[in-house]
Amino acid sequence: MIISPSKFCKTFLKSRSEIIFLLGSILTSFGILLVTVGGSWDITNHLLSKPETFFSPPHALMYSGVAISLLGVITCFIGWNNLQKFKNSYFLSFKIKLIGIGLLTGAGPLDFLWHSYFGLDGLLSPPHFTLITGMFLCSIGGMIGISRYLKFNNCSPTVKYLLVLAIIPVWLSTSGIISSLSLPFSSTDFFEFNPEPTIAFVIASLAYPFLISLSLTLIFRLSNYQFGIMSILGGLFLLIYSSTAIVPNFAMFDTIQFYSLNLIPFIIADIFLKINKSKLSQFFVGGLLGSVFYMVYYPYVMYTYNEVLLGKLVSPSLIYFVYFELIQSVLIYTLIPASAMGILGIIISVKLSKKILMI
Amino acid sequence: MSINVNKFLIYLSGFVLLSLYFLLTIFILPSEFLMTEQLIPEPYFQSTLSDSQINLGDSFRLDIVSINNGDYADIHIVSVAFPDLFEIDDVVKIATYDFSLSPSYISIGDEIGSTYSGGIETTFAQYPSIEAMSRPLKSDVETHLDVIVTPKTSGIFNIYVKSIGIPHTSDVSHYPYSGILDHQNEHVLVYSVTVNP
């Protein structure tokens, strides 16, 4: 019996549709990871005023990321369209990715138009916010797709490390949204989009701690309490942040040792939740993860607090001086609310993980 | 029993590590880093006027060679101001320019930084100027700014020149160190050319 190529293709797609959908989700998440890494690197280059052309390495990374995400969403569509089971369960992931990639690709021409009319824009501008929202939605769609695949197929613990790739773009793109709404990098000749300093102070103090705790405890739950996964996710975040925000600025290079210490609370959180999953232990971990936000978001978070507490001029070589000058004051003001937001993050992660895994 | 002892030891180690973490990140390392010496850029420049006297309608040239004699500067600025002009218009043309950022033209009424504050304190420009900037500028690197000036009126034509390094961490982070103060409350060297009718 001879099978025609088109029939073979259809049969292949139908038999492998779920894995194709997973591949699409992985590509989408990986693409967004590249965009966020490129974005963070680009911010550092702008702060250092490094001469750059359109073809700078950070831009190349960002645009490659967008292309990979687009390819990922197309792959997801092919996979989803041929799904024999779980079609409804994967629809949410596909729908969110589709909206996200629409915003992400639409932000490019919008950014071009904005630049044509208003020149250089700051961190927060309508095209940039469209871009970051698109990144956020794509990463959420990727996370849901990967998590559900792992759950439905009862995957082995080793495969569950894919969750790190699913969560890290969500963490980084949400950090991008919070940074846009709290960092004073958005004042241009045409528009003053800098957030009001006190509001920015409140946003940073509440949102960053919540996000750290939510991201780390969410991966812990999605992986069915896999030991070590929180440390790997936290470590990867620190690695990305240090290589894009600290290493490129030679004046801050020595502070790497300070920044690397942040791995300690992540490992302790991992160990404590491994040996004790009681509510008290969870609340302690949530509070701990929330309380370290000023250290984890070194160095740029300092700009938000400097606006309210010091008002100093911060040139690139002075970043860590001002950061360390502020550290104790910031912790006095933020320790309690940040810990509370960390606890809230762990509570929300319970509900969110149930929704993602459809329990 | 031994399980409880093990758990206790893990908790104890965890709390000790956390105490160490907070001690290091909040108290010990910040004070160590704050004790390190801040970078002190030392800008300096030499200017050469092509003529001290010209006839109305003729041009003269001011060549400025600036250098950072100190530590790495985040920003190195050379400012050339024209207190006798209302606008730069076609009176001043840039002939040579090798700073890393494009020159910025400041007009009367623009809000500008003052007192070497890097923009924390501001004032309003009383006369036009041109600011040349390199971001950053390493030690011992020269930058050049040459302007050709064609005055439209006779009399004394003054030019104020100064250079500032950022971070402005010392009294040597600007040049000249003393002398006449300009509209930004910052010291300048004055170059004058007599324009004969």
- Residue spans of the domains in chain B: they are 1-36, 43-196
A299 vs A252: CA distance, rounded Å: 9
- The answer to whether residue B136 neighbours chain A at the CB level (below 8 Å) is yes
> What is the CATH code of the structural domain delimited by B43-196?
2.60.40.1510
Model confidence, pTM: 0.88
* Residues on chain B touching A251 (C-beta within 8 angstroms): 39, 72
pLDDT in tens, B27-65: 999 999 999 888 899 999 999 999 999 999 999 999 999
% of chain B beyond a pLDDT of 70: 98
The DSSP element (H or E) to which B3 belongs, if any, is: helix B2-22
CATH architecture classification, A12-192: Up-down Bundle (1.20)
Report CB contact under 8 Å: A261, B24: yes
CA distance A177 to chain B (A): 26
- Residue spans of the domains in chain A: they are 12-192, 196-359
Report CA-CA distances (Å) from A263 to A199, A270, A289, A296, A327. 29, 11, 11, 9, 18
- State residue B39's pLDDT score: 87
Looking at residue B188, the DSSP 8-state letter turns out to be E
Residue with tokens 């995957």: A155
- The answer to whether residue A111 neighbours chain B at the CB level (below 8 Å) is no
What ipTM was estimated for this complex?
A: 0.91
Report CB contact under 8 Å: B18, A264: yes
End-to-end CA distance of chain B: 105
* Residues on chain B touching A311 (C-beta within 8 angstroms): 120
CA distance A238 to chain B (A): 15
Region B97-115: mean pLDDT is 92
To test the contact with chain B by mutation, choose from A238, A292, A296, A324 the residue with the greatest count of B C-beta atoms within 10 A, namely: A324
* Residues on chain A touching B135 (C-beta within 8 angstroms): 48-49
* Residues on chain B touching A313 (C-beta within 8 angstroms): 117-120, 166-167
- The answer to whether residue A227 neighbours chain B at the CB level (below 8 Å) is no
Report CB contact under 8 Å: A264, B11: no
CA distance B40 to chain A (A): 10
Please list, in sequence order, all residues whose beta carbon lies within 8 angstroms of the beta carbon of residue A354, skipping any fewer than 6 positions away: none
A340 vs A131: CA distance, rounded Å: 31
- State residue A59's pLDDT score: 84
To test the contact with chain A by mutation, choose from B74, B106, B116 the residue with the greatest count of A C-beta atoms within 10 A, namely: B74
* Residues on chain A touching B7 (C-beta within 8 angstroms): 275-276
- The answer to whether residue A310 neighbours chain B at the CB level (below 8 Å) is no
Residues of chain A with pLDDT under 70: 1-3, 49-55
State the virtual CA torsion across B6, B7, B13, B16 in degrees, nearest 10: -140
- State residue B2's pLDDT score: 66
State the virtual CA torsion across B134, B140, B143, B149 in degrees, nearest 10: 120
Q: Say whether pLDDT at B143 is over 90.
A: yes
